[in-house]
Amino acid sequence: MKNQFLKLIDRESSQLNVTIITTASPKKEGNKFVQKAKKDFNEMGFQNVDFTDLEFENPGRLTQKNIIYISGGNPFNLLYHTKKSGADEILKNLASQNVIIVGVSAGAILLGPHIKVVRFFTPQMNTLGIEDLSALNLTDKLIFPHYDREDLFKDDKSKTIEDRIKEFEYLEKCEITRLNDDHSVSVIK
């Protein structure tokens, strides 16, 4: 995945500014996956890597970045703070300027048209009571991350993830892109 990512870069990685959005995780930049992402960027030669938390920081700082990495966690919290801070409009504008935006887990879901699949699978995560589930719509792909992790999405009726995704697709008249933990998809606009 690192090699494919580096193919998207048209300049020397050491010249580029990267931020990792930590908003979705309750541990913020202390999250082990966020720390691994920073380490991975450093190993790929990126020297200017920092963190941004849209819950507490001015999203205007995103305009100074060449690469924005949106990490995982609670998709409802991420969506809420992205919209509340105004980062949603900034990210849409940056995407139109060919800034590279990477979404992982909750971050990948945020890039699509909505996060309804999260409500379908884990409504208990919506502790903020969000009703408008429209997301950034930077891609028309609806992502289901962790497709290979039945342990994360236990069902009291013993339905598999695939059974429930098919049900969701039928109800919503949509198609879900299923991603295992070691899979990725690139959307180039």
Nearest to residue 65, comparing CAs of 86, 40, 28, 90?
90
Read off the tokens for 41: 């960027």
pLDDT confidence of residue 69: 95
Nearest to residue 81, comparing CAs of 182, 148, 90, 98?
90
Reported as a single tens digit per residue, the pLDDT across 27-77 is 998 899 999 999 999 999 999 999 999 999 999 999 999 999 999 999 999
Can you tell me the distance from the alpha carbon of 177 to that of 19, in angstroms, rounded to the nearest whole number? 26
Nearest to residue 181, comparing CAs of 155, 154, 143?
143
pLDDT confidence of residue 188: 62
The separation between the first and the last C-alpha atoms of the chain, rounded to the nearest angstrom, is: 19
Point out the least confidently predicted range of 49-58, 109-118, 178-187. 178-187
Can you tell me the distance from the alpha carbon of 93 to that of 96, in angstroms, rounded to the nearest whole number? 5
Nearest to residue 78, comparing CAs of 139, 26, 30, 153?
26
Kindly report the CA angle at 42 between 41 and 43, in degrees rounded to 5?
90
pTM: 0.92
Read off the tokens for 132: 């408008």
> Do residues 150 and 144 lie in contact, with contact meaning Cβ atoms separated by under 8 Å?
no
Distance of CA 136 to the CA centre of its chain: 10
Can you tell me the distance from the alpha carbon of 2 to that of 7, in angstroms, rounded to the nearest whole number? 9
Question: Residue 6: is its pLDDT beyond 80?
Answer: no
User: What percentage of the chain carries pLDDT values higher than 70?
Assistant: 98
39 burial via Cβ count (<10 Å: 0-12, 13-18, 19+): exposed
